[in-house]
Amino acid sequence: MFMPLVRVGSALLCGAFVCLCGAQTRAADKTEKQTVLTLENYLKALGYIAVPLTRGQNNDLRVVVQVAGKKREFMVDTGWSLTTIDTSLRSRFKTPRELGVSVKDAILGVLDNSEEVIIDELKLGTARLLNEPSLVKTLNASGGSSFADGVLGCDFLLRHFCLVDCLDLRVYMRSERLSREEQAGLERTLNQSGLHGAPLDRTSALVSTCKAAIDGNELVLAIDTGSAHTILHSKAAERYRLRIYQTNTRLVGVGTVGNVFAYATRPKLFEVDGVEMPLRGLVLGVTYMSSWKFGAEGSPLENVDGTLGADLLAADHGLIDFAGNMLWFKPGKHSRDGAK
């Protein structure tokens, strides 16, 4: 299964994060007085549980969990297909076969992978989750710096109807899908608060993609909070004859993945869903991404041109709604069709 992660060196870009107003909702009285609520309060009223996140040294999203009787740090990575724990935790859990049971997951179906274990109890904030499936993989190389004890991947985020707030650092979870009326109300509220909703497409690897454009040239980008910066495949840069600039940064993934030099490009206009997603002083990275299976024939990401990473997702108040299959962000004033 596809499990990409882009880790970068010191910095490819610097950009200020922006503060944005919370969602608005109507008061219950007949005066129709507008009351400004924080997104957290609004979502809690809809039955979501809010779990705080932090940022790792590579701008990735991190969450403190309690697993196997101890507090540990996991990544929350929208570019990582399947929830994964480090091999150091393997002895604490058993596969369905070792447990002598048959397990059918709502997202993954019947679990018959010999490398897939069942986490009997996982706690995030006030949420207590039982029987969470997880792959086992070496995440922390011996003698190297600590990567993470685990990664909460797209299967987890889909299973728990999550909404990831990339600016205010929250992951919101719910025990069941919103009703159609509740989902429509959430989308209406986010739209009225000034955010634009871009539909997402889900690949067979569970990773979501969006339609984007750079100076009018169409792209498909994976939504990837594990990628510190927004990165374009060098094949796309060559296809559109983008002007690129050399940097001294290398991109490194898990294990031997990556370890390639990064370049940068400075477009006049970057769009998602035909609407400007402001760069706010940031540049876009460019590198050869075949190690991450981008553009590889037969790969679930064969038609993907790069990642929409943590930098832009935070700078433009990205909200990733896995249940609604939408990316919300604060748009700019320009687009190809003149929409605002």
What pLDDT shows up at residue 35?
35
Indicate the residue type of 128.
Answer: R
Q: Of 12-16, 62-66, 70-74, 175-179, where does mean pLDDT reach its minimum?
A: 12-16
Q: Of 95-104, 117-126, 195-204, where does mean pLDDT reach its minimum?
A: 95-104
Among 319, 332, 315, 331, which Cα is nearest to 17's?
315
What pLDDT shows up at residue 252?
62
Backbone CA torsion sign across 130, 134, 140, 141: positive
What pLDDT shows up at residue 254?
55
Give residue for tokens 């940031």: 282
Residue 9 in this model has a pLDDT that exceeds 70: no
What pLDDT shows up at residue 336?
55
- Residue 300 — pLDDT band, cuts 50, 70, 90? confident
Rounded to two decimals, what is the model's pTM? Answer: 0.85
- Residue 189 — pLDDT band, cuts 50, 70, 90? very high
Average pLDDT on 273-293 reads 89
On whether the CB atoms of residues 5 and 226 are closer than 8 A, the answer is yes
pLDDT tens by residue, 190-209: 999 999 999 999 999 999 99
What pLDDT shows up at residue 174?
96
For 234, what's the count of Cα atoms within 13 Å in the CB-facing half-sphere? 13
Among 36, 77, 35, which Cα is nearest to 56's?
77
Most confident of 56-60, 139-143, 267-271, 293-297: 267-271
How many whole angstroms separate alpha carbon 308 and alpha carbon 280?
Answer: 15
Percent of the chain with pLDDT over 70: 82
What pLDDT shows up at residue 257?
53
On whether the CB atoms of residues 239 and 295 are closer than 8 A, the answer is no
pLDDT tens by residue, 18-68: 222 232 233 333 333 333 358 999 999 999 999 999 999 888 999 999 999
What pLDDT shows up at residue 290?
76
- Residue 288 — pLDDT band, cuts 50, 70, 90? confident
Q: Of 134-148, 190-204, 237-251, where does mean pLDDT reach its minimum?
A: 134-148
User: What residue ranges define each of the domains in the chain, with the CATH number in brackets?
Assistant: 56-160 (2.40.70.10), 196-329 (2.40.70.10)
How many whole angstroms separate alpha carbon 113 and alpha carbon 157?
Answer: 20
Total number of residues shown for the chain: 340
Most confident of 90-99, 157-166, 225-234: 157-166
Indicate the residue type of 79.
Answer: G
